[in-house]
């Protein structure tokens, strides 16, 4: 297993070189996005005949951030300094499978290169990773404070009306530690674990 240092934006060639089990230290500007954010993107941009005028500015900004970029399934704990600027107190990953209905379409629409989260995702997302040249990066759960040390700056925040955990937090990270658990070649550690677990369960129930 190799260790890669990647900086956003990431090329398809760089992504195709990654295999399940590889470690990735990620740097650059990325955005968080959870349930409300994904639902918002699907309804306003991907399944909409036209982008609502009041959402055009954010749509163009998300295109800039997400094209060859990264979305992080994270509901951060955020502090605010006296000057009004924000900082991440804790930045642990949230369970990704909740975004399974949406993620494949978001990847394809924006031309994303990676999704960060925990627990892996399902067949729709795996197919989208293979088709579009993207990977799923697993971040360590339970290390929220440690991961926050990789968040060097909160660049901006959008849709604060969704609530702090659900807003789009645009952040600059340095050497954010992750592991490839779903690659662009149709391989998924999570799928293999699930299959092995089913076999063991059947043996126990027999």
* Active site residues per annotation: 38
Q: How many Cβ atoms from other residues are within 10 Å of residue 52's Cβ? A: 12
Decide if 182 contacts 126 (C-beta within 8 A): yes
DSSP 68-118: T-EEE-B--EEEE-TTS-EEEEE--B-BGGGGHHHHHHHHHHHT--EEEEB
Decide if 153 contacts 170 (C-beta within 8 A): no
Torsion angles phi and psi, residue 120, rounded to 5: 80, 175
CA distance 192 to 202: 16
Q: Given the DSSP bridges, would you call strands 77-80 and 86-90 parallel, antiparallel or unpaired?
A: antiparallel
* Structure tokens belonging to residue 114: 């990676």
């Amino acid at each position: 297993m190799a260790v890669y240092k990647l900086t956003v934006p990431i090329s398809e060639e760089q992504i195709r070189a990654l295999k399940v089990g590889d470690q990735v230290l990620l740097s650059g500007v990325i955005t968080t996005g959870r349930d409300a954010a994904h639902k918002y993107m699907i309804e306003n941009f991907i399944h909409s005949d036209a982008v609502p005028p009041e959402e055009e500015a954010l749509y163009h900004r998300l295109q800039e951030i997400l094209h060859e970029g990264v979305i992080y399934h994270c509901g951060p704990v955020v502090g605010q300094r006296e000057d009004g600027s924000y900082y991440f107190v804790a930045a642990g990953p949230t369970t990704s499978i909740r975004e399974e209905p949406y993620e494949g379409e978001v990847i394809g629409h924006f031309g994303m290169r990676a999704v960060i989260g925990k627990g892996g995702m399902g067949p729709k997302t795996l197919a989208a990773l293979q088709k579009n040249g993207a990977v799923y990066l697993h971040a360590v759960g339970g290390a929220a404070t440690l991961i926050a040390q990789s968040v060097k700056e909160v660049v901006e925040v959008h849709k604060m009306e969704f609530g702090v955990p659900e807003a789009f937090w645009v952040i600059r990270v340095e050497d954010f530690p992750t592991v490839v658990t779903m690659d662009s070649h149709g391989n998924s550690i999570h799928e293999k674990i699930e299959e092995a677990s089913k076999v063991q369960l059947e043996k126990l129930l027999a």
